[in-house]
Structure 1
Amino acid sequence: MDRTRFFVRVSAIYALIGAFMGSHMAGGGGLELSAIHAHILVVGWLSLFAFAIYYKVFSIPKDSKLSLIHVWSSFVGVLGLTLGMFLYYTQPIEGMRTFNTVFFIVGGTILLIAFVVFAIMTFVHGKVISED
């Protein structure tokens, strides 16, 4: 799997979603979805794009288990957090409050794991990260 291409494409989708949400909020004059909008843009667009650049600039081995965990926990975590936030704050289906809360928490936890793995990876593969 080409990690850079994957992250760039997924981040572009989040950028589109965030832009549409922002346009909708601006046109409707309501800011009810602003927290969700911000997270879609920050963790969905910017963080995933930054990860794409990381994999492009630094020679992280393609067979790295940490890299594999990082890629998939980032993808699942961003999706889980942002969709979980939407479900939690909007409660679109009656009687699903507990499910929505758990979905939100689990998504956020998976994303937190992705960031921890990323931090660990910068030290484990630190020899490829230098100005030389």
Structure 2
Amino acid sequence: MGIKLIKIAAVYFVIGVLLGMYMSISHSYTYSSIHAHINLLGWASLALAGIVYYLFPAAGESAAGKVHFWLHNIGLPIMMIGLFLLMSGTESVEPVVAVGGVLVTLGILAFLYNVLANVREGARR
């Protein structure tokens, strides 16, 4: 799971940077909240989780690690696409943002459980 998370984090990093470049070039910062969420919840959080899972293989190989991976990576695109549409004026998609946010939150709670259950001194590679 660690390597998968690091690789998908790199994809989110590129998306976040490209969105930042677009906003800078166009001088339109309407999507800055999306840019921030992609960089924090996509790039930074997933890269750090990937490093944790790599350093502590029991956490990376656990069911909680897989649940975290899937909930986070299903929820984040749903939330970001919904937020993009919401910021573009489609107010009816607000529940979509909420669903994506709940999925990401549940994934992060699975990460917390996983760290508490499987990350121990002496368990590193």
| TM-score w.r.t. length of structure 1 | 0.83
Q: d(CA) in 1 for partners of 2:4 and 2:120?
A: 24
- For residues 47-62 of structure 1, what are the structure 2 equivalents within 5 Å? 47-60=45-58
More helix by share: 2
**Could you say which residue in structure 1 is the equivalent of 2:106?**
113
Point out the more displaced range, 40-49 or 61-70: 61-70
The one-letter code matched in structure 2 to 1:64 is S
Identity across matched positions, percent: 24
- For residues 1-132 of structure 1, what are the structure 2 equivalents within 5 Å? 3-60=1-58, 63-91=61-89, 97-98=91-92, 100-127=93-120
Over the aligned positions, Cα root-mean-square deviation in angstroms equals 2.0
Change (3 A) 1:105 1:126: same
Q: d(CA) in 2 for partners of 1:13 and 1:62?
A: 20
Point out the more displaced range, 102-111 or 72-81: 72-81
Retained in 2: the 8 A contact 1:59–1:128?
Answer: no
Higher relative contact order (CA 8 A, sep 6+): 2
Q: d(CA) in 2 for partners of 1:62 and 1:126?
A: 10
Q: d(CA) in 2 for partners of 1:48 and 1:63?
A: 16
Which of structures 1 and 2 has the bigger CA Rg? 1
| TM-score w.r.t. length of structure 2 | 0.88
Q: d(CA) in 2 for partners of 1:84 and 1:115?
A: 19
Q: d(CA) in 2 for partners of 1:30 and 1:97?
A: 20
Gaps of 5+ in 1: none
Deviation at 1:61, TM superposition (A): 5.3
Q: d(CA) in 1 for partners of 2:55 and 2:38?
A: 24
Gaps of 5+ in 2: none
